[in-house]
Amino acid sequence: MKHLLTALLFFALSLTMAAQTPLRPVVTFDGTEQNNWTFSARTAISMNGKADGTPNWAGRPAIASASGNQALLMEGQGGEELTFLTSPFLNFPAGQNVFLHFHQYYRNFRGVTRIDILNDGQLLRTIPINDLLAEGVETAHFDTLQFDLTTDLAGQANRQVRFTYTGQSYFWLLDDIGFYDAPHFPETSPADTMGNYLAAQGYPYKVDSAGWAYVPNELVVQFSADATEPEKEDIREEFGAFVKDSCACNQIELWVIDGSRFLSQGGRVDIGGSTNIQSNGLGVKKKTKIDGVDLNYYNGTILEPMIPIPNDSLTTDSLRGLPASKDDALRIAILDTGIDYKHSDLSQYVAVRQDGLSPDDDADGNCLENDPIGWNFIDDNNNPFDDNSHGTHVAGIIAGTLERYASNDCNFEFVPYKTHDYNGVSTLYSVACATFQASIDEIDIINDSWGFFGDSSTVLRNAIDTAEVNNILIVSAAGNDSINLGNQAQYPACYSAPNLITVGALRTDGGFPGNGGPLRGGARLEFYSEPALFTNFDDNCVDIMAPGTDIESTVPGGGYAEKDGTSMATPMVAGVAAAVLCQLSLSGERTIGYAEVRDTILDAAEPNTFYEDFSTNGRQLRIPDTLSVAITNLAPEAGFRAFPNPSAGELVIESLASRKAEAVSLLTLDGREVFRSGNLNWISAGDQQTLTLPELPAGIYFLRILGKDYQWTQKIIRY
C-alpha cells in the first residue's frame, strides 16, 4: 500500500500553494472571448450546455462548468475530417508558468480527441486525451482537465493551441478554456478544507459531484465471494484496469484505470487524465460478480502536516517488553495514524499474537504475514507505529477510560491498524481494508476517529455490515466542521447501521488536569455540559456527545499533550463500550451482542432538551450511569440493594445472593474514590452489611462493589 502516499510524498515538501491568475480572458462561450478563436465545421455553441440535438443524448445533464449556460459542442462524423477549435497566437513571456485548464464532457464511439500545439500554423506536437476511454463510455459531465504547457508556450512566439476531434464520437462539449499562471485545484466541500490541505501537502486529487476529493484514476472494487480469478481478469481487461493492490484476503482490489501519465512533474496536478474513472465505475457496478465499487475517496483525521520518519518493518527488538496475547481478551481496533506501542501507558495493551517475524509466517491465518500486533496499511508492512500523534492520543484516551472504569477481571488488547499517513490523510481503500480486516481478526470494538463527505461508499458500508455479522461495534467521530450532518452527510458517521455509535463533542471547562496521574484520558463529569463550537451535529446522525476539548492524552515518545476534536470524544465512548462489554461478559453465561453494549450506553446517557439538534434527544455521555445500567443488565443474582437512599451517615447493603466482596468503595461523580472497605461477606441471600459513611459534602456519589467475578454500582445521594 505504498501505492498512494509513499510514491507521492518525496516531492511534497518542496511544493507551496500559489494563487491562480488567468493570463488572458477565459473563454466561456457566453460572451466575446471566443471571437478571435477559429471554429471549424461541425463546431457550434450550445446555448444550454447540452448536446441534445445529437443522437443518443437521452436526457443527459449539461456540462458542469463554473460559468454555466453556453458551451462549445463538437460533433464527429467519421473518417479523417478534422473538427477543431484553434486559439489565436499566444505570446507568453519567457519564465512564465502556463497551465491550460478547461471543462469537458465527452462520450466516445470510435473517435480521437487531442490537443495540438501549433508553431506558425504548423503542427509541433500532439497531446492525446480520452484515448483510453472505451467505446460507448463517457467522462463525467463535470470533468476537468489541466495541462502544464510552460515548455510549449512560454517565451515562444506565434504558438497556438488547437482542440482537435476526428473519427466518430457521440459528442464533445468544452467550456471555460483558460490559461493560468498556476495549477488549478478544484474546491472541495465543505469549506474547501480538505482541498486546500491536499493541495498544500502535494496530494493529487479531483472532486466528485458532491465536491469531495478522490485519488484520480483509482477505483476500490469488491468482488463477490464466488468470483473466480478468470472472471475477475475478464472484468479488469474489459475496463482497462490493472490491480495496484489488494487486501482482506484478496476480497478488495485497488484498480488504476488510465492513470499512468496523469501526474505533472510536481505530482500535485492531474494534468492529462479523464474522470472517465467515474463512468467506468458505473460500468463496473453493473457486473454480476461485483459487490461494490467506489472512487478512492480521501479521508482524514485532524489534519496536521508533519515531517515524515521511516517506518520500517518490525524487528525482535520492536516486540521486546510487549505482553503475549490472551485468548479471552476484548480486542479494540484503532483505525488511525498508528500507535506508539512502546509508550509506558499503552504497551500493556498492545499484545503479541501468533504470527512471528520469520518469512511467510501467517500462523493466525488472517492473510497478513508477520503481523504480530497489527498492520500498517500505508506502508504495507507490519509496523503500525504512529508518525503523526493522533492515533497515540486516541489510544491513550481509551486506555485512560479503561484504567478508571473497567473491571480488573477483563483483559483488553489494542490492535493498531495504521490507515492514515503522517499528515493524517488516508483513502477509502485503506480504511475499507482495515474494517474488513477487523472481522477477519475477530475484533470486538472499532474506533474510527476520521471521516469523509461525498458519496457514501458501497464498499465501506459492506465492510461495516460484515462487522455487524461478526458482532463488532463501531464508534465513529461526527467531525469538526460545525455543520449540520442532516444537510451534508459525513461517513461513516451517518451510515444507518445498527452496530454504529456516532459521537459529537462537548466543551470542557478545566475538567482535565495537565499534570497527568490517574485522571489523564478520562472525563471529569461535572465540568462539561454544552456542545463544542466545532462539533458537527444532527439529531439523527449523532447518537451521543462526549468531552472533546482540552483532552490530555498520550503522544509518541512517552509524552502527553492536549488535543480537541470529536476524534477525542469518540475513544472515550469506545473505552466505555469496552468497559460495558467487559461488565456484561462477566456473567459468563452467553455471548454479549454489540446491540446490548450500544443500548446500554445510549440508554444511560443524559438527555438535554436544549441540545436536541446536536444529538438524538441531546444525549450526553455519563460514564458511572452507563456502568450502573450495565450491572442492572446482568443476571439477577449479581445484584444488591442499598438503603436508605438518600443517606445521612449509615448505609445498609443487602445482597440478593451469597457472595463475597473484595472491595466496597464510594466514588465522586468524576470517578475519584473517597471511601473504601474490603472483605465483606454475605453468607446467604438477604444478608445485610452496614457501612458508616465518612464525613463528605452533600451530593451525588456512586457506590461500587467489586467481587472476583462481578461489579455492581448504584447512585447514592448523601445529605
Q: What is the pLDDT of residues 666-681, one digit of tens each?
A: 876 555 678 888 778 8
Burial class (CB in 10 A: 0-12, 13-18, 19+), 86: middle
Beta strand ranges found along 226-354 (DSSP E): 241-247, 252-257, 290-300, 330-336
Task: Please tell me whether residue 598 adopts helix, strand or coil conformation.
Answer: helix
DSSP 359-394: TT--TT-SS-TT-SS-EETTTTBS----SSSHHHHH
What average pLDDT does this structure show over 270-282? 43
Closest CA to 570 of 651, 497, 478, 434: 478
Q: What letter does residue 340 receive in the DSSP assignment?
A: -
Taking the domain 1-18+192-300, which CATH number applies?
3.30.70.80
User: pLDDT-derived band of residue 384, with 50, 70 and 90 as boundaries?
Assistant: very high
Q: CA angle, 192 as apex, 188 and 194 as ends, to 5°?
A: 80
What average pLDDT does this structure show over 526-540? 84
What average pLDDT does this structure show over 63-80? 81
Cβ neighbours around 598 below 10 Å, total? 21
* Contact assessment for residue 372 and residue 355, using Cβ atoms and an 8 Å cutoff: yes
Report CA Rg, the chain.
30
Confidence (pLDDT) at 258: 57
Closest CA to 32 of 49, 21, 48, 45: 45
Q: Which of 54-68, 293-307, 645-659 has the highest mean pLDDT?
A: 293-307
Please state, rounded to an integer, the average pLDDT across all residues of the chain.
84
What average pLDDT does this structure show over 42-47? 92
Confidence (pLDDT) at 630: 63
- Position 3 pLDDT exceeds 50: no
User: pLDDT-derived band of residue 392, with 50, 70 and 90 as boundaries?
Assistant: very high
Confidence (pLDDT) at 691: 86
Closest CA to 440 of 424, 423, 417: 417
Confidence (pLDDT) at 77: 60
Confidence (pLDDT) at 349: 97
Burial class (CB in 10 A: 0-12, 13-18, 19+), 604: buried
In this prediction the pTM is: 0.72
CATH of 637-718, one of 1.10.390.10, 2.60.40.3080, 1.10.340.30, 3.30.70.20: 2.60.40.3080
Active-site residue, from 426, 476, 567, 628: 567
What average pLDDT does this structure show over 514-529? 42
Beta strand ranges found along 573-656 (DSSP E): 640-643, 650-655
Alpha carbons 371 and 368: distance in angstroms, whole number: 6
Active site residue 390: yes
- Position 19 pLDDT exceeds 70: no
Greater confidence (533 vs 200) lies with 533
- Position 408 pLDDT exceeds 90: no
Confidence (pLDDT) at 8: 25
Alpha carbons 293 and 555: distance in angstroms, whole number: 36
User: pLDDT-derived band of residue 564, with 50, 70 and 90 as boundaries?
Assistant: very high
Alpha carbons 190 and 249: distance in angstroms, whole number: 35
Closest CA to 718 of 696, 686, 687, 685: 696
* Contact assessment for residue 302 and residue 316, using Cβ atoms and an 8 Å cutoff: no
Active site residue 567: yes
Active-site residue, from 390, 420, 430, 455: 390
- Position 251 pLDDT exceeds 50: yes
Residues in the chain: 719
Q: Cis bond leading into 323, ω under 30°?
A: no
Least confident of 40-44, 77-81, 368-372: 77-81
Confidence (pLDDT) at 139: 82
- Position 634 pLDDT exceeds 70: no
Assigned CATH topology for domain 322-628: Rossmann fold (3.40.50)
Would you state the cell numbers that stand for residue 667, as one nine-digit string? 466514588
- Between the two ends of the chain, the Cα-to-Cα distance in Å is 61
* Contact assessment for residue 97 and residue 159, using Cβ atoms and an 8 Å cutoff: no
Greater confidence (302 vs 56) lies with 302
Q: CA angle, 85 as apex, 81 and 89 as ends, to 5°?
A: 125
Q: Tell me which residue has cell 477481571.
A: 409
* Contact assessment for residue 151 and residue 161, using Cβ atoms and an 8 Å cutoff: no
Cβ neighbours around 452 below 10 Å, total? 25
Class for the domain spanning 20-182: mainly beta
- Position 278 pLDDT exceeds 70: no
What average pLDDT does this structure show over 73-91? 81
User: pLDDT-derived band of residue 590, with 50, 70 and 90 as boundaries?
Assistant: low
What average pLDDT does this structure show over 252-261? 72
Would you state the cell numbers that stand for residue 427, as one nine-digit string? 483513502
Least confident of 40-44, 346-350, 713-717: 713-717
Active-site residue, from 143, 258, 336, 564: 336
Would you state the cell numbers that stand for residue 281, as one nine-digit string? 465505475
Confidence (pLDDT) at 546: 95
User: pLDDT-derived band of residue 239, with 50, 70 and 90 as boundaries?
Assistant: confident
Q: What letter does residue 617 receive in the DSSP assignment?
A: G
Residue span(s) of the chain under CATH 2.60.120.260 come to 20-182
User: pLDDT-derived band of residue 442, with 50, 70 and 90 as boundaries?
Assistant: very high
Residue span(s) of the chain under CATH 3.30.70.80 come to 1-18+192-300
Alpha carbons 284 and 538: distance in angstroms, whole number: 34
User: pLDDT-derived band of residue 522, with 50, 70 and 90 as boundaries?
Assistant: very low
Active site residue 476: no
Closest CA to 662 of 674, 678, 682, 677: 678
Q: pLDDT for 601-629, tens place per residue?
A: 999 898 988 899 999 999 999 887 677 66
- Position 514 pLDDT exceeds 90: no
Greater confidence (54 vs 400) lies with 400
Q: β-strands 330-336, 412-418: how paired? A: parallel
Confidence (pLDDT) at 519: 38
Beta bridge partners of 195: none
Closest CA to 115 of 74, 84, 72, 144: 84
- Position 632 pLDDT exceeds 50: yes
What average pLDDT does this structure show over 373-384? 96
Closest CA to 8 of 298, 290, 231: 298
Confidence (pLDDT) at 262: 30
Backbone dihedral angles phi then psi of residue 232, each to the nearest 5 degrees: -60, -45
Q: Tell me which residue has cell 463501531.
A: 474
- Position 513 pLDDT exceeds 60: no
Confidence (pLDDT) at 263: 28
What average pLDDT does this structure show over 76-105? 87
Residue span(s) of the chain under CATH 3.40.50.200 come to 322-628
Confidence (pLDDT) at 69: 85
- Position 125 pLDDT exceeds 90: yes
* Contact assessment for residue 71 and residue 49, using Cβ atoms and an 8 Å cutoff: yes
Q: What percent of the chain has pLDDT over 90?
A: 52
Would you state the cell numbers that stand for residue 35, as one nine-digit string? 471571437
Helices within 264-305 (DSSP H only) = 276-285
User: pLDDT-derived band of residue 593, with 50, 70 and 90 as boundaries?
Assistant: confident
Confidence (pLDDT) at 309: 84
User: pLDDT-derived band of residue 588, with 50, 70 and 90 as boundaries?
Assistant: low
Residue span(s) of the chain under CATH 2.60.40.3080 come to 637-718
- Position 416 pLDDT exceeds 60: yes
